[in-house]
């Protein structure tokens, strides 16, 4: 998907997410959601302390490059079938992370439309995590 024009890539992501979650209507391109994102350092602190569940929605080939310690691996394309694995309880914060925040922002929007009020996405994603030299671990074999 990376070789596609950005507008086509964004449409393809929205379509894939809609297919994964069922008939969910995503916000139009360029629409600004009410800011429900968390900075990288704050997200790392929340996840490492156990105050939030970090959900890595990247694909398995991306996980193979390294993941944040303690992250739950849940590829975006599997979310529809594994939705029950994402806590809906407002007392259990969930932080979504992908490579650059584009997919996690789209998943955040779709989950909010399904009533999840405890979900935020991580600014910068795993590419920024790695660029800053934050700790990565190899994922457990699936």
Q: Which residues belong to the active site?
A: 98
Residue 139 belongs to some domain of the structure: no
pLDDT the model gives residue 2: 41
Contact 14, 4 (CB under 8 A): no
Residue 89 belongs to some domain of the structure: yes
Q: What is the CATH classification number for the domain harbouring 68?
A: 3.40.250.10
Residue 13 belongs to some domain of the structure: yes
Residue 22 belongs to some domain of the structure: yes
Residue 140 belongs to some domain of the structure: no
Distance in angstroms (rounded) separating the CA atoms of residues 128 and 132? 6
Alpha helices in 22-124 (DSSP H): 40-49, 60-63, 102-113
Residue 72 belongs to some domain of the structure: yes
DSSP letter string, 66-91: -B-TTPEE--GGGTTTTGGGS---TT
Q: Domain total for the chain? A: 1
pTM: 0.77
Residue 142 belongs to some domain of the structure: no
Residue 1 belongs to some domain of the structure: no
Using the Cα atoms of residue 31, residue 36, residue 38 and residue 43 in order, give the sign of their dihedral.
Answer: negative
Distance in angstroms (rounded) separating the CA atoms of residues 130 and 66? 9
pLDDT along the chain (142 residues), means of 10: 43 52 41 66 94 97 94 96 95 96 95 94 96 92 67
pLDDT the model gives residue 141: 72
Distance in angstroms (rounded) separating the CA atoms of residues 7 and 110? 19
Q: For residue 113, what are the domain limits?
A: 6-26+36-131
pLDDT the model gives residue 101: 93
């Amino acid at each position: 998907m990376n070789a596609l024009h950005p507008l086509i890539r964004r449409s393809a992501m929205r379509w894939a997410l809609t297919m994964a979650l069922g008939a969910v209507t995503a916000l139009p391109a360029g629409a600004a959601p009410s800011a429900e994102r968390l900075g990288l350092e704050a997200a790392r602190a929340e996840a490492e302390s156990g105050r939030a569940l970090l959900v890595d929605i990247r694909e398995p080939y991306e996980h193979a490059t390294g993941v944040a310690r303690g992250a739950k691996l849940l590829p975006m394309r599997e979310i529809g079938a594994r939705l029950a694995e994402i806590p809906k309880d407002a007392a259990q914060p969930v932080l979504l992370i992908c490579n650059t925040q584009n997919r996690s922002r789209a998943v955040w929007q779709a989950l909010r439309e399904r009533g999840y009020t405890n979900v935020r996405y991580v600014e910068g994603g795993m590419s920024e995590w790695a660029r800053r030299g934050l700790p990565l671990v190899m994922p457990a074999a699936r």
